């Protein structure tokens, strides 16, 4: 038996990186999975990897209409949600003096508004006793160069987990936060680092981490599975840091 047998899970940002790894692991554990993302080609590639127990819907979590359409389709397809993973996010690293209005708005629109709308609009479909996993980052408590706006958005996500764990306790819905450290995902390639400097950047970052390397998406998927399954049935409101010790030591 799988740890998520016959559960219905919705995973935003499920087309690549951590979201894709979570979707794959959830399917392996018996769940039916719905993934979202902004690019249809990426979603098609993800479905080819995940398999027939997954469905994809293209949409932008920062757009309320897209979220509402998503849940209309989920309702028609499955009639319920048992697990929600609010994973979609963006990062635009820049020092304080260089942050543009576009960079600021993009990160808050997707990382904060997107998480809020994703969760709020899911509630009518979310089963009592269900689980919500909000993907934050250790940046919410550890200062990292060039991450001031991103860190603020992830601090909001951490705060949401506390508040919503309290707000939804009467329905038995557990809300927890998952905070990754540096992980080998495509998002690193979108941080504006020149290709010729990427290997040195990853090596230097790995040397900062007590375990001596970047994390793997599959390791974050294992942590998400713990928070989504009955293995964590007496846990709500926590921040689970999967960071190789970077934010802990």
Q: Which residues does the annotation mark as catalytic?
A: 150
User: Based on the number of CB atoms within 10 Å of its own CB, is 96 exposed (0-12), middle (13-18) or buried (19 or more)?
Assistant: exposed
| CA gap 84, 10 in Å, rounded | 5
Q: Which two tokens stand for residue 166?
A: 């309290």
- 193 burial (CB, 10 Å; 0-12 / 13-18 / 19+) is middle
Distance of CA 247 to the CA centre of its chain: 18
- Match 């793997």 to its residue by tokens: 216
Structural tokens at position 107:
């990160």
Q: Are 222 and 21 in contact (CB under 8 A)?
A: no
Residues linked to residue 215 through DSSP beta bridges, in sequence order: 183
131 forms bridges with which residues in the sheet? 83, 174
d(CA 199, CA 240): 28
CB atoms within 10 A of CB 78: 16
Select from 98, 243, 117, 119 the least CA-distant residue to 176.
119
Is 224:162 a contact under the CB 8 Å cutoff?
no
C-alpha 130 chain-centroid distance: 17
């Amino acid at each position: 038996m799988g740890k998520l047998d016959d559960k219905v899970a919705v995973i935003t940002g499920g087309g690549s990186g951590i979201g894709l790894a979570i979707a794959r692991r959830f399917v392996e554990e018996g769940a039916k999975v719905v993934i979202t993302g902004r690019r249809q080609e990426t979603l098609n590639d993800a479905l080819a990897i995940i398999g027939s127990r997954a469905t994809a819907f293209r949409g932008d979590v920062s757009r309320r209409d897209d979220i509402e359409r998503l849940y209309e389709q989920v309702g028609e397809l499955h009639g319920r949600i048992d697990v929600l993973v609010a994973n979609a996010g963006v990062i635009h690293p820049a020092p304080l003096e260089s942050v543009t209005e576009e960079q600021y708005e993009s990160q808050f629109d997707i990382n904060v508004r997107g998480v809020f709308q994703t969760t709020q609009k899911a509630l009518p479909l979310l089963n009592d006793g269900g689980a919500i996993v909000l993907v934050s980052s250790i940046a919410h408590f550890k200062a990292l160069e060039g991450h001031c706006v991103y860190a603020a958005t992830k601090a909001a996500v951490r705060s949401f987990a506390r508040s919503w764990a309290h707000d939804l306790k009467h329905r038995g819905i557990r809300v927890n936060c998952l905070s990754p450290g540096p992980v080998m995902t495509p998002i690193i390639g979108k941080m504006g680092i020149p290709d010729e400097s990427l290997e040195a950047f990853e090596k230097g970052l790995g040397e900062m981490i007590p375990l001596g390397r970047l994390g793997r998406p599959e390791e974050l998927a294992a942590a998400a599975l713990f928070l989504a399954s009955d293995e964590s049935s007496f846990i709500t409101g926590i921040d689970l840091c999967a960071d190789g010790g970077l934010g802990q030591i």
